[in-house]
């Protein structure tokens, strides 16, 4: 019993010290970098997620942040579904269970709505880092 309590406390301390959901701090450097002038396009007012001047192979900060956030949301969503119902999401969808199909649709709509909202609201430019 004591070992389980110790393991739980260590896990709780580790989880509390995790910075997975915190925006990374900007590096405090004294030197200033000169940014390239922005390109003139038809969508000059709202340039979101354009990879101009970057390789198309991924591993960019913008893509990594978005993929990480989506995967965290999906993991928590699926974990809670399996915790509540006691069966896996894939099994529930294959059986045609309304709860699982409705949750899959709700997750897709929520993800799309959050992405659109953040695209409209966000002003972070990850292409310069």
Task: Return d(Cα 118, Cα 69) in angstroms, integer.
Answer: 12
With beta carbons less than 8 A apart as the criterion, state whether 99 and 85 touch.
Answer: yes
Q: What is the pTM of this model?
A: 0.45
CA 122, distance to chain mean position in Å, is 14
Q: Which two tokens stand for residue 13?
A: 């301390």
Task: Return d(Cα 70, Cα 115) in angstroms, integer.
Answer: 10
With beta carbons less than 8 A apart as the criterion, state whether 69 and 126 touch.
Answer: no
Q: What is the pLDDT along the chain (129 residues), one digit of tens a residue?
A: 777 777 777 777 766 666 655 666 665 555 555 656 555 555 555 555 555 555 555 567 777 887 888 899 889 989 998 998 899 989 999 999 999 999 999 988 988 898 888 778 766 655 555
DSSP 128: G
Task: Return d(Cα 51, Cα 31) in angstroms, integer.
Answer: 25
Q: Which two tokens stand for residue 67?
A: 């993929």
CB atoms closer than 10 angstroms to residue 92 = 19
What residue spans of 1-129 are helical by DSSP H?
2-16, 61-85, 89-94, 98-121
Q: Which two tokens stand for residue 5?
A: 């309590």
């Amino acid at each position: 019993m004591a070992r389980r309590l110790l393991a739980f406390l260590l896990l709780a301390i580790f989880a509390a010290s995790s910075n997975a959901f915190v925006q990374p701090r900007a590096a405090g450097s004294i030197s200033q970098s000169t940014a390239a002038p922005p390109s003139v396009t038809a969508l000059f007012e709202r340039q979101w997620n354009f990879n101009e001047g970057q390789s198309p192979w991924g591993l960019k900060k913008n893509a990594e942040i978005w993929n990480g956030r989506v995967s965290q949301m999906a993991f928590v969503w699926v974990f809670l579904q399996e915790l509540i119902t006691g069966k896996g999401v894939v099994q529930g969808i294959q059986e045609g269970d309304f709860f699982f199909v409705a949750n899959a649709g709700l997750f897709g709509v929520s993800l799309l709505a959050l992405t659109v909202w953040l695209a409209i609201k966000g002003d972070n430019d990850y292409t310069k880092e």
